[in-house]
Structure formats: C-alpha cells, structure tokens
C-alpha cells in the first residue's frame, strides 16, 4: 500500500513541479515582465529549488560520446552485447580514424566493470568508466529497474546475480581470450563468489580482480548501514520494506524493495549535509554562480535517480552478506544456472591477481571490510595481492571525482597492466589445468555438505 501512496503523491506533485519550473524561468528571463521584479533572482532561485525537490528523476544517460587518446579524438558508442531480464551487458566501443591510435586501442586490455545493484543506476560509475576508457576496452553491468521487469520474466535471486557475472566474464573472455574485473561496493561479494566458482570448476578466471569499497566481511568496522542490516531480523525487512509494484508499471505485482525507500535511507544518513547542500544551491543561483549550481544539479540528478530491487535478491543479500556472513564463514552455497548447488571456495582461486581499495572515511563499507578478501583467497601468492587505503576519501571518492582520477585510477591502471602480460596468461593456463582435476571433487563435497545441512 505504501508504494501506491507514494505514486499517488508523486503524481499529485508533478503539476506543481512543472509550475515551479515555469515560474523559475519566467523570473529569470530579463525580457519577461516578471524578470523586472526587484526580487526576481531570489524568486527564480526559490522556484528552481522547489522544482528540483518535487520533480521525478529518471535514469540518467552515461553521456560519454568522445574522449581524447594521445591528443586524438575518439568516438564512443554504447552497445548492448548481452540483454538479460534484469541486466544489460553494455560495451563502450571506441572508434577513431587515426591508424596508430586505433592499433593502440585494439591492444589495450578488456575490463568488465560490475556496477552495484543497491539503489542507484550504473551511471553512478560514469567517472569510473570515463577514466578507464583511456586505457581499456570497457564493459559494464547496467542493472534494470525491477519495476520495469514483467512477472513472466521470472524471479531474481542473489544466485542469479552470481550467475550473471559468470556469464558476462565468459562473454568477454570469448571476445579477447582474457579479461579483468572491477567491482564497486555491493558487487564485491557476488563477484568474488563468481570467480571462486569458476576457479573451483577449472574454468579460466580473470587475470585481475579489483574490489573497491565492498562488504566482503561486514563484521569489521561496522557502519550505520551494516548495523541496520545486522540488528534487524530477516522477517523485519520482509514485513517493513518489501512492497508490490503498482499496476502502472510493466512489473506490476512484483515484490520489490522500492527505490524511494532506499533513497530515503541514503538521505537519512547525512540529512544536515543534504540540507546545507540545497541551501548552498539556492545561494549559488542568487549569486549567479552557474558553475557551482550546475555541479549541484549534476550530482543530484544522479543521486536522486533510484531503481527498485527484486525482493528475493535484496532479502538474500541482507541474510547472506550482513547476517550470516556466509562468504567469510565458508558455508555459502550458490545454485548454478544448471541447477546444481556449489560451495563458494575463494581459496580455489590461484592465478587471479587481487587489488582491494578502501576509503579512509568510508561510512558505507568500513575499514578492513574489503581488505578481508586477501585473507580468504589463500591460494593467491602475496606477490599478486595489493591493498590501497585512500587518505581523506569517503565511499564515493574511491571511484569518482578528483581522488579517483588522481590517486586511485593510476594505481588500478598500473595493476591491470602489470598482470596483463603473456607470461601472466601462461601461468594462469597452467594453474587452470591443475584446478580442473580438483573441480569435480569440490562439487561433490558441496552436494554432500548441502545434503547434511538439510
């Protein structure tokens, strides 16, 4: 019922938001009679703020159409290479007329960026993608809004997320022979699970895996986000935050964790900061500081655009990652696309180099949560592992903004380049052949363990 009330309120506010937008333009236009009012600038700023507070925020575009490589213009075209019910694998294909630049682009490593499915769209990683495109072939998981997915397309579980990631890795590997994987925030856990399962089966695994600001072990330095998930029962979440999609959307009747609830949680974490940001925006408009006002719009156009998550996926993530800590406890079983239960065994990974990145001031994934991945992947030599703590960076600062571009990205780029050599690929093939011998026994052990659990 709450979802229906929210939609009714949103529909009611829509004409008022449109009126506020029109009034703002009237008072800001010097040729309009309203623009001659002595308080025109203040009235325009006030109406503009009302419009932005009341408007509906749709999914933003990546808007990465061109970039410069070695002082040559490169055109970027988005292509959906794999279309799944709940996700699109999107490729940013680069084009140039300069032969030397084209040759360089073709030789660059392929990177799969796994975006978070935790309330915001994949466009939150726009800055990440833009930076990566200078030195890599880039793919990204573009998750769909669950309210737009019809019921006949089936359910979506945490297991399905892990299976999607495996399918996408295989797709990129088929194209280029190998790939590198980057996961930001929430997907660090399912990505580590996906690579672990591939290693246990003896499949080729990515050359490198970069995990940034994710809850690998949410018990370490728990944040407000962790505490909420750990202190409330599974039943509390199911009864209080899960609602059915209204009839006005293609996914009518689907059980979801609505995006507007997630957004309320985001804002509630730092209400004073958001209040002050909106007031500063109002002052920037009055002062005619267009650059600062546009920066505010750019941030909140992204921040306020949220999506619904399928209830099964959301609830299983709460239980698996934040309540039972199944990954670090070594008792996580994933249902494969073939219907087999498989135990997640990070220790089976032997050749995929690991890089973990944490922000010193991260208030979503606390200190040590991501670094914990190194302790789980005991089969990877220490020489192939690296950890970075970014001083002065919060959660978003490790993948977006100045610290990402100046501090984090150069180290991520160099780490990928370090293990993108033919020698590294050869070592991986040898280890993969050895892992195939143990893959069958690992799966048999999983079945036995699951049967005993039942």
pLDDT for res 61: 94
CB 129 within 8 A of CB 138: yes
- For residues 77-105, b (16+ Cβ closer than 10 Å) or e, as one string? eeeeebebbbbbbbbbebebeeeebbeeb
The parts of the chain modelled with pLDDT lower than 70 are: 422-454
Q: What 3-state class would DSSP assign to 141?
A: strand
pLDDT for res 332: 97
Nearest to 143 by CA among 203, 233, 83, 226: 83
- For the chain, what is the total number of helices (H) and then of strands (E)? 17, 14
pLDDT for res 444: 47
CB 31 within 8 A of CB 37: no
pLDDT for res 446: 41
Q: Which helix (H) or strand (E) holds 354?
A: strand 353-359
Q: Which helix (H) or strand (E) holds 92?
A: strand 87-95
pTM of the full predicted structure? 0.88
**Four-way CATH pick for 66-237+309-453: 3.20.20.190, 3.40.50.1820, 3.20.20.140, 3.40.50.2000:** 3.40.50.1820
Pairing of strands 333-335, 341-343: antiparallel
pLDDT for res 453: 41
Q: In whole angstroms, how far apart are CA 204 and each of 113, 165, 223, 334? A: 18, 14, 36, 19
Residue 60: CB atoms within 10 Å: 17
Domain ranges of the chain: 2-56+275-303, 66-237+309-453
Nearest to 160 by CA among 315, 320, 328, 312: 312
Q: List pLDDT tens digits, range 184-201.
A: 999 999 999 999 999 999
3-state helix, strand, coil in the chain (%, to 5): 55, 15, 30
Q: Which helix (H) or strand (E) holds 228?
A: helix 224-231
pLDDT for res 240: 93
pLDDT for res 1: 78
Within 29-83, where are the H helices?
40-54
Q: Which helix (H) or strand (E) holds 183?
A: strand 180-184
pLDDT for res 164: 98
Q: Which helix (H) or strand (E) holds 431?
A: helix 422-453
């Amino acid at each position: 019922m709450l979802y229906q009330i929210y939609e009714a309120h949103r529909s009611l506010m829509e004409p008022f938001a449109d009126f506020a937008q029109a009034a703002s333009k009237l008072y800001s236009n010097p040729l309009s009679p309203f623009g001659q009012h002595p308080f025109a600038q203040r009235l325009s700023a006030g109406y503009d703020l009302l419009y932005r507070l009341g408007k509906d925020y749709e999914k933003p575009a990546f808007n990465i159409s061109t970039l410069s490589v070695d002082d040559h213009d490169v055109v970027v075209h988005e292509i959906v290479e794999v279309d799944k019910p709940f996700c699109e694998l999107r490729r940013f294909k680069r084009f140039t007329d300069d032969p030397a630049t084209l040759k360089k682009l073709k030789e660059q490593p392929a990177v799969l960026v796994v975006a978070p499915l935790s309330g915001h769209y994949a466009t939150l990683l726009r800055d990440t993608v833009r930076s990566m495109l200078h030195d890599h072939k880039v793919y990204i998981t573009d998750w769909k809004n669950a309210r737009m997915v019809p019921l006949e397309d089936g359910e979506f579980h945490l297991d399905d997320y892990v299976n999607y990631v495996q399918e996408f890795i295989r797709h990129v590997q088929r194209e280029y022979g190998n790939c590198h994987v980057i996961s930001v925030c929430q997907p660090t856990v399912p990505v580590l699970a996906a690579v672990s399962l591939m290693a246990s089966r003896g499949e080729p695994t990515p050359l490198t895996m970069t995990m940034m600001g994710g809850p690998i072990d949410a018990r370490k330095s728990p944040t407000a986000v962790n505490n909420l998930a750990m202190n409330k029962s599974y039943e509390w979440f199911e009864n209080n935050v899960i609602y059915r999609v209204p009839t006005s959307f293609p996914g009518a009747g689907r059980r979801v964790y609505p995006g507007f609830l997630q957004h309320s949680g985001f804002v509630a974490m730092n209400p004073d900061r958001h209040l002050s940001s909106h007031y500063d925006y109002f002052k920037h408009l009055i002062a005619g500081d267009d650059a600062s006002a546009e920066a505010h719009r750019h941030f909140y156009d992204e921040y306020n655009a949220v999506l619904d998550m399928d209830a099964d996926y959301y609830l299983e993530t709460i239980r698996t990652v934040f309540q039972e800590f199944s990954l670090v406890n070594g008792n996580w079983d994933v249902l494969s696309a073939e219907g087999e239960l498989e135990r997640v065994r990070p220790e089976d990974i032997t050749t995929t180099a690991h890089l973990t990145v944490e922000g010193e001031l991260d208030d979503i994934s606390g200190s040590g949560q991501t670094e914990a991945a190194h302790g789980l992947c005991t089969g990877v030599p220490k020489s192939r592992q690296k950890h970075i703590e970014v001083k002065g960076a919060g959660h978003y600062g490790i993948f977006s903004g100045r610290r990402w571009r100046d501090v984090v990205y150069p180290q991520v780029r160099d780490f990928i380049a370090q293990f993108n050599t033919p020698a590294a690929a050869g070592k991986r093939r040898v280890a993969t052949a050895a892992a195939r011998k143990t893959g069958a026994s690992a799966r048999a052990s999983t079945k036995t363990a699951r049967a005993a659990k039942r």
